[in-house]
């Protein structure tokens, strides 16, 4: 049986590893040069947050330990308020953490893992330019020589990212559903370098957020002592990228809105000028499976990055497909049908969760009522874990609950929390042990569906 994977990015390389472990003959065609030789050419974020769904998929591939060794745990959000004060909001109870990781190092490790199987071959600098999904067959053109190859296979997997060529071929068929929505925001990556002589300039074990209502900056740590900052700002309008032309405008904007960050950003003006302004897109499509051609990862569900789940969701696709091959004794038709049935609702849910979380990150995290809600959520989870699990915990630390189930429980949580927030003097009494009985009653009445 011959399997072709288009795209040797994070998801394509992990899937090639999982299929290699099953003994399949897999050929991966990647349009870029081999980053392990040529270096990483960029295009997406420099680092990413890995969380439990991604880790679970890596465990299945036997790679979790080696990947975790490359990560920095982030135990919560460090909020940088406009007055310069800091506020640490833990992500979970019991020391749970998400993990910052270099995209390039992860991709290299996954390519090494895939190529360790004799049955897996990686072919670089081959761009997919056409697909016949029913056969299935894909056409590739060599990016330097222009040579063309047509490859027929038993299963064709599109792991070629948000602007997938495999999906393009499906897109033009009758009754194909496709929706592409850009945010009015763009993003630009900037740097906080290490201290002279090494070491982090700000707290390394946190995801830093500078929420400024309509826009925000975040920073994730890198193992060499640096931080990658990402500024999310509207393209147009009064406070927007369109207003930041000159070094003076950029400097004044940062001094006004991020004064405690700018003191750690000696390369700000240079970074701002040199680094690209990138867009943020959500792509939904259906079906993901046509004959034996299938979409996976961003090719099936490109989402905005505000829940830190795009890669995690793609890794979860891989894990679930691999588990389904077990369940259906490598009957691909049965496994692919079930993969699509399970994963399409999950993809839609995580896309919506990511959009919702943008508002939370850039605006709500600095709001006192919101901070109180979060504290009450932790208290409910500690006292009534059988009745209440916070949405963030469900999405980030509970891979046994699907994204669509997490979304549904999150809606039930909203109902519970709004009842609690409406109680008289809740801001004074929220942690009074006498309130626990009232909380239980509300949970039993409105929230049973939200338990994990
Ligand atoms: C700013 C930003 C921050 C993010 N942060 C996080 C985070 O913290 N946590 C998280 O989980 N996710 C995050 N994501 C999402 C994550 O980057 C993606 O979900 C993930 O990269 C998807 O992996 P993929 O392999 O499906 O696609 P990609 O990583 O895009 O890989 C696709 C591969 O296919 C190749 N390719 C494309 N077209 C062709 C073709 N025609 N022929 C051959 N090869 C082709 C590409 O060169 C690439 O190597 C973030 C995304 C952005 C933009």
pTM of model > 0.95: yes
Distance from residue 442's CA to the centre of ligand 1 (Å): 42
What's the pLDDT tens digit per position in 213-232? 999 999 999 999 999 999 99
What's the pLDDT tens digit per position in 372-404? 999 999 999 999 999 999 999 999 999 999 999
How does DSSP classify residue 306?
Answer: G
- How many C-beta atoms surround the C-beta of residue 367 within 10 A? 13
**Residues of the chain with confidence (pLDDT) below 50:** none
Q: Residue 43: what pLDDT? A: 59
The angle formed by the CA atoms of residues 74, 77 and 83, to the nearest 5 degrees, is 140
What's the pLDDT tens digit per position in 137-193? 999 999 999 999 999 999 999 999 999 999 999 998 899 999 999 999 999 999 999
What percent of the chain lies above the pLDDT cut of 90?
A: 90
Q: Residue 451: what pLDDT? A: 52
Pocket test for ligand 1, best of 42, 45, 123, 313 (most atoms within 8 A of CB): 45
Nearest to 281 by CA among 158, 188, 404, 163: 163
Ligand 1, atom 37, lies closest to the CA of 160
> Domain 2-72+101-179+281-357 falls in which CATH fold?
FAD/NAD(P)-binding domain (3.50.50)
Query: What residues are in contact with ligand 1 under a 6 Å CB criterion?
Result: 6-12, 29-32, 44-45, 48-49, 127-128, 159-161, 165, 187, 230, 297-299, 305, 308-312, 314
CA atoms within 13 A on the CB side of 157: 30
- Among the residues of 242-331, which ranges form H helices? 247-257, 259-262, 268-274, 310-327
- How many C-beta atoms surround the C-beta of residue 384 within 10 A? 18
C-alpha span between 391 and 396 (Å, rounded): 8
- Nearest atom of ligand 1 to the alpha carbon of 13: 25
Q: Strands 76-80, 207-211: parallel, antiparallel or unpaired by DSSP?
A: parallel
Give the strand order in the sheet containing 98-102. 47-50, 98-102, 72-74
Q: Residue 92: what pLDDT? A: 78
């Amino acid at each position: 049986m011959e399997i072709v994977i288009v795209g040797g990015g994070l998801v394509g390389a992990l899937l090639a590893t999982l299929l290699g472990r099953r003994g399949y003959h897999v050929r991966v065609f990647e349009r870029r040069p081999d980053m392990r030789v040529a270096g990483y050419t960029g295009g997406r974020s420099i680092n990413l947050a890995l969380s439990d769904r991604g880790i679970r998929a890596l465990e299945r591939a036997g790679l979790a330990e080696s990947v975790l060794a490359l990560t920095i745990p982030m135990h919560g959000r460090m909020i940088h308020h406009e007055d310069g004060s800091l506020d640490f909001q833990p992500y979970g109870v019991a020391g749970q953490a998400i993990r910052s990781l270099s995209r390039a190092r992860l991709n290299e490790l996954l390519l090494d893992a895939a190529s360790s199987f004799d049955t897996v071959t990686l072919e670089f600098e081959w761009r997919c330019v056409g697909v016949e999904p029913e056969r299935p067959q894909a056409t590739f053109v060599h990016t330097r020589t222009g040579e063309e190859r047509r490859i027929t296979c038993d299963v064709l997997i599109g792991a070629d990212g948000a602007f997938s060529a495999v999906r393009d071929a499906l897109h033009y068929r009758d009754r194909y559903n496709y929706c592409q929505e850009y945010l009015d925001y763009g993003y630009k990556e900037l740097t906080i370098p290490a201290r002279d002589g090494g070491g982090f300039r700000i707290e390394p074990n946190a995801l830093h957020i500078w929420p400024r209502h309509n826009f925000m900056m975040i920073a994730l740590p890198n193992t060499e002592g640096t931080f990658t900052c990402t500024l999310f700002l509207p393209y147009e309008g009064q406070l927007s990228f369109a207003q930041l032309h000159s070094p003076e405008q950029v400097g004044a904007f940062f001094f006004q809105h991020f004064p405690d960050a700018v003191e750690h950003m000696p390369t700000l003006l240079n970074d701002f000028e040199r680094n690209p302004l990138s867009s943020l897109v959500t792509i939904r499509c259906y079906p993901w499976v046509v004959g034996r051609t299938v979409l996976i990862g961003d090719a099936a569900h490109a989402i905005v990055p505000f829940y830190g789940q795009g890669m995690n969701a793609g890794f979860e696709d891989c894990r679930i497909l691999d588990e389904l091959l077990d369940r259906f004794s490598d009957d691909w038709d049965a496994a692919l049908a079930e993969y699509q049935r399970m994963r399409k609702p999950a993809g839609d849910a995580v896309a919506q969760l990511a959009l919702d979380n943008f508002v939370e990150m850039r605006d709500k995290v600095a709001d006192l009522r919101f901070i109180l809600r979060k504290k009450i959520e932790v208290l409910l989870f500690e006292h009534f874990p059988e009745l209440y699990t916070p949405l963030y915990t469900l999405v980030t630390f509970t891979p046994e609950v699907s994204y669509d189930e997490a979304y549904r429980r999150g809606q039930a949580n909203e109902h519970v929390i709004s009842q609690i927030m409406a109680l008289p003097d809740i801001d004074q009494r929220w942690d009074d042990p006498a309130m626990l009985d009232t909380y239980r009653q509300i949970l039993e009445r409105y929230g049973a569906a939200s338990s994990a």
